[in-house]
Amino acid sequence: MSPAPLPSSWTTTPSGKTRARGLGLPLQGLCGPDNAITDVAGVSVGYSTIVKGEGALVAGKGPVRTGVTAIVPRPLDAIHEPLFAGFFSLNGNGELSGTHYIEEAGKFSLPITITNTHSCGITRDATIRWAAGHMGERYHDDFSLPVAAETYDGFLNDINGFHVETRHVLEAIGSARGGAIEEGSVGGGTGMKCFGFKAGSGTSSRLVRHDDHEFTVGVFVQANFGVRTHLTVLGRNLGADPDLPQMQANTRDMELGSIIAVIATDAPFLPHQLKRLARRATFGIGRTGGLATHGSGDLFLAFSTANTGLGGGAIRHVRFVPDEDIDPFFEAVAQATEESILNAMIANEDMTGRDGNFVPALPHAAVRRALGLEAE
């Protein structure tokens, strides 16, 4: 008997781009309904994508290949409610703001933004501006340390043109939705590359059974890391294949690469446990061939939506999964991180940016051939 067909949201993005499972990759684990971080109830994702101009770089004018991603961890009417969180830096050549407070207090609030390296500050500040306007009197005399992260898109983008503005951040937050989301060259991932191929935004999820409950672990990555020869897909090294297309550059590729991973779950965990979950993104990255090189900012944040009422004013009671039962969640993070990276590369297209710099998409047929899958 033939296996049941996979849900369409597992195999294609809303715009019809092929995802890793749509390519026939036999990935491990059971996904949530949309195989996305948004499978965690209350979590939404929005984008602002900025693509304009062709030809030679003129600083301040373009070409522009960048944007902003917003991950909203709670429904907007509860966005001021803190969430337990944990942070891990595999290699620190990057930025993820708000982590000093997360290390100190184990919690954060407000939307998470991800963009290019030189726009990280404006997305942080614009998030505060959004909060002050959205929350009104609830925000009076308050302060914020929002999470803003970055990876470097200067190979394709006029990164010193500072094209990300407050309005793009507000657009990303305002467009955040649940359900199936786009992947590839969208939002903050617009100008990113991975292992010498076009990459950017990717997501995946896993379901975990514990104590008669079914929990969801969702991952979102902005993938912009890796050396071509290290690319590995399901245990097969593809990067050394001489038949795969190469990047073409009229400017020096500085090989400045990073990956931001955001892990969400509705399972009840304490901050130290979420830090442990964040560490396990390392294994998903390693499965694809990532080595956390010196120039890479490999920064991971994990948060739980399960416990509420974490502010001051009273004794609080919280729930948590015992540490002794955490291993299936570790596995879920590793699996979903690996698939998120593959989705970021597979649900993508060739891109030409500043000075004619060209990054090819990962050829679907070559991936299938290397893995011994039947031809389309």
Amino acid in position 163: H
In the prediction, which pLDDT does 134 show? Answer: 86
Task: Report residue 360 as tokens.
Answer: 């090819």
In the prediction, which pLDDT does 136 show? Answer: 72
Angle between helices 281-288 and 271-279 (to 10 degrees): 10
Taking Cα atoms as reference points, which of 279, 373, 359, 360 lies closest to residue 326?
279
Q: Residue 215 CA to chain centroid, in angstroms?
A: 20
In the prediction, which pLDDT does 138 show? Answer: 66
The predicted model scores a pTM of 0.97
In angstroms, the CA 275 to CA 271 distance is 6
Known catalytic residue at 109: no
Q: What are the backbone angles phi and psi of residue 261, rounded to the nearest 5°?
A: -120, 125
Taking Cα atoms as reference points, which of 298, 355, 362 lies closest to residue 157?
355
In the prediction, which pLDDT does 137 show? Answer: 67
In the prediction, which pLDDT does 50 show? Answer: 98
In the prediction, which pLDDT does 334 show? Answer: 98
Known catalytic residue at 15: no
In angstroms, the CA 271 to CA 274 distance is 5
In the prediction, which pLDDT does 95 show? Answer: 97
Q: What is the DSSP letter of 266?
A: S
Helix, strand, coil shares of the chain, percent, nearest 5, are 30, 25, 45
Strand stretches in 157-296, DSSP E: 193-194, 197-198, 201-210, 213-224, 232-233, 236-237, 258-265
In the prediction, which pLDDT does 374 show? Answer: 66
All domains in the chain, ordered by first residue: 8-370 (3.60.70.12)
Q: Residue 157 CA to chain centroid, in angstroms?
A: 19
Catalytic residue from among 9, 44, 296, 340: 296
In the prediction, which pLDDT does 376 show? Answer: 44
Q: Walk along the chain (376 residues) in steps of 10 and give the mean pLDDT of each run.
A: 83 98 96 98 98 97 98 95 97 97 96 98 97 76 88 97 98 98 98 97 98 97 96 94 85 82 98 98 98 95 95 89 97 98 98 97 94 73
SS3 letters across 107-140? EECCCEEEEEHHHHHHHHHHHHHHHHHHHHHHHC
Catalytic residue from among 258, 266, 304, 340: 258
CA-CA-CA-CA torsion sign (362, 228, 282, 222): negative
Known catalytic residue at 298: yes
In angstroms, the CA 338 to CA 217 distance is 13
Catalytic residue from among 34, 158, 266, 298: 298
